[in-house]
Structure 1
Amino acid sequence: MAGDKKAYPLRISAAVLEAMQRWSDDELRSVNAQIEYVLREALRKAGRLKAGKTEPAPDSDES
């Protein structure tokens, strides 16, 4: 199903995480939702995401 979410541990540098936090604050998203948005856009631009999978899922993670 398209709405299914899977947990995935992510190691990320402090500087990148801080930049993502600032960006997510500006966009009124959680950091998790912002990371997913950035990944989805990169996949879409690279032609790696199947059609119909580009819609953002509701942001239920407020971390």
Structure 2
Amino acid sequence: MALLDKMPELSVMEIADELGINFKTASEHIRRLALVGLVLKRNQGAAVRHALSPTGRIILKFLRTLE
């Protein structure tokens, strides 16, 4: 979530590359975050772009207070 806060509008491949994780792992995590409304998906041609939802931003802000 912090990555999408810092770099919104990333594809799953870009997320996987930035985090150094497998594409399938990134895809599954993004899918779950989108299902609960923390991440928004936007189609851009053949690509799908991802960004934090307003709720996702609130949750991330709360999580940062716990650090």
TM-score, normalized by length of structure 1? 0.30
Instruction: Report the structure, 1 or 2, having the larger strand content.
Output: 2
TM-score, normalized by length of structure 2? 0.30
Instruction: Report the structure, 1 or 2, having the larger helix content.
Output: 2
Rg comparison, structure with higher value: 1
